[in-house]
A and B are shown apart, each in its own frame.
Chain A
Amino acid sequence: MTAEADTAPAREPEAVTRISPLLAKRRWTRLRATLAVLATQLAILVVFLALWEQATSGNKAFAFMFGSPSAIANFLGQMVRDGSLWRDTYITGLETLLGFFVGNLIGTLIGLSLWYSRFVSRVVEPFIIALGSIPIIALAPIIIIWFGTGLISKVAMSTLSVVIVALVTSYKGAVGVDPDQINLMRTLGASKFQIFRKLVVPASLTDIFAGLKLTVGFALIGAIVGEFMSSADGLGHAIFKAGSLYVIPKVFAALVVTIALALFLTFVVGKIERLLMPWRRQL
């Protein structure tokens, strides 16, 4: 009896510790899968760069036409040293962010508020489709005339690239709300504004964020296109200038920075999404 009573409490912590190796094993299995993906991606990148370097090292014409990873790295180093990397990234990043915010703010506000009136949304629909079909680059010359060659014209280009997409995605989210859910709100006595605020807006967040992720890229394209047309700095300016002077490795160097900027901005939007929609984290 006493022996049994002594061993019984000792068994419990053992049971607890027996779970954690299992958990650790599962965690390790998952980590290993992620590492395998990362390693493969890295390997592809390394092989690609090595082949590129190999193909251009013995051939001057090739090196001129296609640049080489080492030359690109040299230019990146030079851009870091003379400070142009930070300045150009800052300028383009600022234009992109401003355009992204203004465009999404206006687009989302209009898109969501169109939920309010079936009449108004039917009236404006063809106009929105017409505006959405304009290639933004075609507007660039007019934008430069209207807003000058400084920051504002790039922000305007960026905003225009974003606004229609933001409008359409948020409107789609708003009208896609389950009619049964709206009926439920009505039976609970909700006013139209309460239905809008407590149901339509949060229900549209998923679509709005899908739009945000999409429009990060569009905002950047708008800013770069604006810089192509007329500018004194920014990554688009660097690409355009290097291209005009046939310095192809420098074009690639500025392009690498542009890609890094796009990835960073997308990452930030993803973080904000998870912060604002905690219920999706628990899935």
Chain B
Amino acid sequence: MTGESSGRAAEWRGTAAGRSAEPPLVVEHVAKSYDLNGAIVPVIGDLSLTLREGEIVSIVGPSGCGKTTLLNTLCGLLAPDSGHIRWHGREVSGQPQNVGYMLQKDLLLPWRTALGNTMLGLEIRGLAPAEAEDRARAMLDQLGLHGFADHYPSTLSGGMRQRVALARTLVNEPDVLLLDEPFAALDFQSKLLIENDTMGLVRGGRRSLMLITHDIEEAVSLADRVIVLSKRPTRVKAVYDIDLGTERADLMAVRESRDFSHYVRRIWADLDVVLQ
């Protein structure tokens, strides 16, 4: 991260003084359950994990294992029943700051142009409109959306809409990104391209990324570490450190390496999917 942008980040964080030595995110023994017709349904059993600075972690798990509940709990949108969530060493009440959140649905506001959508977070933080616009335009340009700033979402393709959503997330310069299957709805080609751009921006900005996905190949090709979750109530079932060497620079080449399919097969076995 450049000196200028880390200065900005510190300014937005207000009282928080820069980065601490603590990892950006530590989850300790978190449990969460829902009430369903009077019965308590445990969703997250006892979950602990750590996201280190500059690290990309993928979380995979069987369908319906509570990945989205986990993400919403981390973001402070749901309160855990027990356990601790520490952002940069501190437990936060409400929403953690400097955390970017993105879902499979782009959630763009249809009445705002690509530019207006990108500016949303800056506007909420009370940044001067002219500066917010400059930054949003720069971010859209960086994501290859130059010339589409004044388009309404309804006139953009799925891949472009997701790029706008990514711009809306990244323009706030978050330290940590929490992405919940952000590329799942895209075709393979758009997906590879946007993954490539995302990884570039994440690694270039020394950001940490937690990517929740059901796509094992995506998880292995992008992450430094893959955490496999169990069925409900969710726990960490296995952790893989992904070492694919230098080939990682090219997301297509990565998929062709022998280690890649080796990891994919082992994680697939962990997921314990019963075929009909």
> Which of A194, A199, A202, A279 gathers the greatest number of chain B CB atoms within 10 Å?
A279
- A186 contact from B77, B120, B123, B153, Cβ within 8 A: B77
Task: Digitize B90-127: 1 where CB-to-A-CB distance is under 8 Å, 0 elsewhere.
Answer: 00000101011101010101111000000011011100
Task: Digitize A123-140: 1 where CB-to-B-CB distance is under 8 Å, 0 elsewhere.
Answer: 000000000000000000
Q: What residues of A have a CB within 8 angstroms of the CB of B121 in the complex?
A: 188-189
User: Could you tell me the distance between the alpha carbons of A183 and B68 in the complex, rounded to whole angstroms?
Assistant: 12
Contact A180 B125 (CB under 8 A): no
Closest chain-B Cβ to A279's Cβ sits at a distance in Å of: 4
With contacts A194-B124, A198-B120, A282-B155 taken as known, whether A277 is within 8 angstroms of B101 at the C-beta atoms is no
- B154 contact from A178, A184, A199, A283, Cβ within 8 A: A283
Closest chain-A Cβ to B77's Cβ sits at a distance in Å of: 5
User: Using a Cβ–Cβ cut-off of 8 Å, how many residues does chain B contribute to the interface with A?
Assistant: 25
User: Could you tell me the distance between the alpha carbons of A54 and B75 in the complex, rounded to whole angstroms?
Assistant: 75
User: Could you tell me the distance between the alpha carbons of A168 and B107 in the complex, rounded to whole angstroms?
Assistant: 25
Contact A178 B109 (CB under 8 A): no
Task: Digitize B132-156: 1 where CB-to-A-CB distance is under 8 Å, 0 elsewhere.
Answer: 0000000000000000000011110
Closest chain-B Cβ to A140's Cβ sits at a distance in Å of: 40
- A188 contact from B105, B112, B124, Cβ within 8 A: B124
Q: What residues of A have a CB within 8 angstroms of the CB of B103 in the complex?
A: 180, 184
User: Could you tell me the distance between the alpha carbons of A180 and B180 in the complex, rounded to whole angstroms?
Assistant: 12
Q: What residues of A have a CB within 8 angstroms of the CB of B208 in the complex?
A: none
Q: What residues of B have a CB within 8 angstroms of the CB of A202 in the complex?
A: 109, 111
Task: Digitize A265-283: 1 where CB-to-B-CB distance is under 8 Å, 0 elsewhere.
Answer: 0000000000001111011
Contact B125 A189 (CB under 8 A): yes
Contact A189 B111 (CB under 8 A): no
Q: For chain A residues 70-95, which have a beta carbon within 8 Å of chain B?
A: none
User: Could you tell me the distance between the alpha carbons of A75 and B72 in the complex, rounded to whole angstroms?
Assistant: 69
Contact B111 A279 (CB under 8 A): yes
Closest chain-A Cβ to B118's Cβ sits at a distance in Å of: 12
Q: What residues of A have a CB within 8 angstroms of the CB of B162 in the complex?
A: none
Contact B111 A183 (CB under 8 A): no
Q: For chain A residues 189-217, which have a beta carbon within 8 Å of chain B?
A: 189-190, 194, 198-199, 202-203, 205
Closest chain-B Cβ to A45's Cβ sits at a distance in Å of: 37
What residue of chain B has the Cβ atom nearest to residue A283's Cβ?
Answer: B154
With contacts A180-B107, A277-B111, A279-B152 taken as known, whether A185 is within 8 angstroms of B75 at the C-beta atoms is no
Contact A189 B109 (CB under 8 A): no
Listed by A's residue number, 22 A-B pairs whose Cβ atoms lie within 8 Å are A180-B103, A180-B105, A180-B107, A183-B75, A184-B107, A186-B75, A187-B100, A187-B101, A188-B120, A188-B121, A189-B95, A189-B124, A189-B125, A194-B124, A202-B109, A202-B111, A279-B110, A279-B152, A279-B153, A279-B154, A280-B110, A282-B155
Closest 4 CB pairs of A and B: A187-B101, A188-B121, A279-B152, A190-B124
- B152 contact from A185, A189, A282, Cβ within 8 A: A282
Overall SS of chain B's interface? loop
With contacts A202-B111, A279-B110 taken as known, whether A186 is within 8 angstroms of B95 at the C-beta atoms is yes
User: Could you tell me the distance between the alpha carbons of A181 and B152 in the complex, rounded to whole angstroms?
Assistant: 17
Q: What residues of B have a CB within 8 angstroms of the CB of A187 in the complex?
A: 75, 77, 95, 99-101
User: Could you tell me the distance between the alpha carbons of A252 and B184 in the complex, rounded to whole angstroms?
Assistant: 61
Closest chain-B Cβ to A58's Cβ sits at a distance in Å of: 59
Task: Digitize B44-75: 1 where CB-to-A-CB distance is under 8 Å, 0 elsewhere.
Answer: 00000000000000000000000000001001
Contact A188 B155 (CB under 8 A): no
Task: Digitize A241-283: 1 where CB-to-B-CB distance is under 8 Å, 0 elsewhere.
Answer: 0000000000000000000000000000000000001111011
User: Could you tell me the distance between the alpha carbons of A185 and B124 in the complex, rounded to whole angstroms?
Assistant: 9
Q: What residues of B have a CB within 8 angstroms of the CB of A194 in the complex?
A: 124
Task: Digitize A213-243: 1 where CB-to-B-CB distance is under 8 Å, 0 elsewhere.
Answer: 0000000000000000000000000000000
Task: Digitize B173-197: 1 where CB-to-A-CB distance is under 8 Å, 0 elsewhere.
Answer: 0000000000000000000000000
Closest chain-B Cβ to A251's Cβ sits at a distance in Å of: 45
Q: What residues of A have a CB within 8 angstroms of the CB of B75 in the complex?
A: 183, 186-187
Closest chain-B Cβ to A188's Cβ sits at a distance in Å of: 4
- A184 contact from B101, B112, B123, B155, Cβ within 8 A: B101
Seed contacts A183-B75, A198-B120, A282-B155; 19 additional CB < 8 Å A-B pairs: A178-B107, A180-B105, A180-B107, A181-B107, A183-B72, A183-B101, A184-B103, A186-B75, A186-B95, A188-B120, A188-B124, A189-B97, A189-B124, A194-B124, A277-B111, A278-B152, A279-B112, A279-B153, A282-B152
Q: What residues of A have a CB within 8 angstroms of the CB of B107 in the complex?
A: 178, 180-181, 184
